[in-house]
């Protein structure tokens, strides 16, 4: 049997504080003998979102340092020369503020963002980033590349648990565009009135897979996404694998 899941399940798996964490772990354990199919849209969305969260932390550092530099350069007062210690403190405060915001707005595992930032700052200190343009450019390069690598590590860890796995590419599908049109022209109220583009892409891929490569199961923590896929499949009389909605 083949199974698949959405982006939320992988996030829940990687975050111990997530309300779905234990349920996803249990569910995954039950399915460990299945072949896991990593849908192309799921892997791209997960990697991008995870990377985006890590790198946004670094963008905060980048912006804070640039702002401090600008403030110092444009200050008419010659006495405005904060020490590198106070500068570091300002930047660190901004990072903390940002992380609080991030946790509040996105319910994410801030610990991993914090660790990522701290590791980078152990290579490039804030005073060095402030003083050396070359180090600043290297820092930028390093954080965007490393953030993506970290995202791949998490997704790799998730799929490796299954005995076998496979991953898909959009070019593998012949019916992809057809299913996208079908979802968009559905008479049902689905995917937040068809505004949730990310879930629509995942559903399109899932339905195409079922039609072209055989039955595939799907598990999700997102009730709306799961229900919407069921409605679409029913509307177009497409038999699909079991869709499991993991509830709180």
- Binding to another protein (CB under 8 A): which residues in 136-175? 137, 140-141, 144-145, 148, 152, 155-156, 159-160, 162-165, 167, 169-171, 173
Q: How far is the CB of 19 from another protein (least distance, A)?
A: 25
Report d(CA 28, CA 5) in Å as an integer: 10
If the CB atoms of residues 68 and 217 are measured against another protein, the closer one turns out to be 68
Report d(CA 13, CA 193) in Å as an integer: 28
Lookup: tokens for 183: 């979802």
Q: Does 208 bind another protein (CB under 8 A)?
A: no
Q: Does 176 bind another protein (CB under 8 A)?
A: yes
What letter would DSSP give residue 247? P
| 206-234 core/surface letters (b: 16 or more CB in 10 A; e: else) | bbbbbbeeeebbbbbbbeebbbbbbbbbe
Q: Which of 3, 43, 146, 228 binds another protein (CB under 8 A)?
A: 43
What letter would DSSP give residue 20? T
| 217-220 and 2-5 beta bridge pairing | parallel
Residue ranges binding another protein (CB under 8 A) = 38, 40-41, 43-45, 47-48, 51-52, 55-56, 59, 62-63, 66-67, 69-70, 133, 137, 140-141, 144-145, 148, 152, 155-156, 159-160, 162-165, 167, 169-171, 173, 176-177, 197, 201
């Amino acid at each position: 049997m083949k199974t698949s899941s959405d982006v939320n399940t992988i996030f829940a798996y990687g975050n111990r504080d997530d309300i779905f964490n234990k349920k996803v772990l249990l569910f995954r354990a039950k399915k460990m003998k299945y072949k896991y199919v990593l849908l192309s849209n799921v892997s791209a969305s997960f990697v991008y979102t995870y990377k985006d969260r890590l790198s946004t932390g670094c963008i905060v550092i980048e912006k804070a340092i640039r702002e401090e530099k600008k403030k110092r350069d444009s200050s008419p007062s010659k006495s405005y020369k904060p020490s590198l210690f106070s500068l570091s403190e300002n930047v660190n405060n901004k990072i903390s503020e940002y992380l609080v915001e991030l946790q509040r707005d996105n319910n994410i595992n801030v610990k991993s963002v914090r660790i990522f930032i701290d590791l980078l700052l152990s290579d490039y200190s804030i005073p060095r980033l402030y003083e050396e343009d070359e180090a600043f450019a290297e820092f930028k390069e390093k954080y965007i590349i490393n953030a993506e690598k970290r995202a791949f590590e998490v997704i790799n860890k998730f799929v490796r648990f299954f005995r076998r796995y496979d991953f898909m590419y959009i070019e593998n599908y012949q019916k992809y565009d057809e299913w996208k049109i079908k979802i968009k022209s559905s008479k049902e109220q689905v995917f937040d009135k068809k505004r949730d583009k990310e879930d629509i892409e995942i559903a399109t891929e899932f339905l195409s897979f079922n039609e072209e490569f055989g039955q595939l199961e799907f598990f999700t923590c997102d009730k709306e996404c799961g229900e919407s896929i069921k409605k679409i499949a029913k509307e177009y009389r497409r038999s699909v694998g079991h869709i499991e909605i993991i509830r709180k």
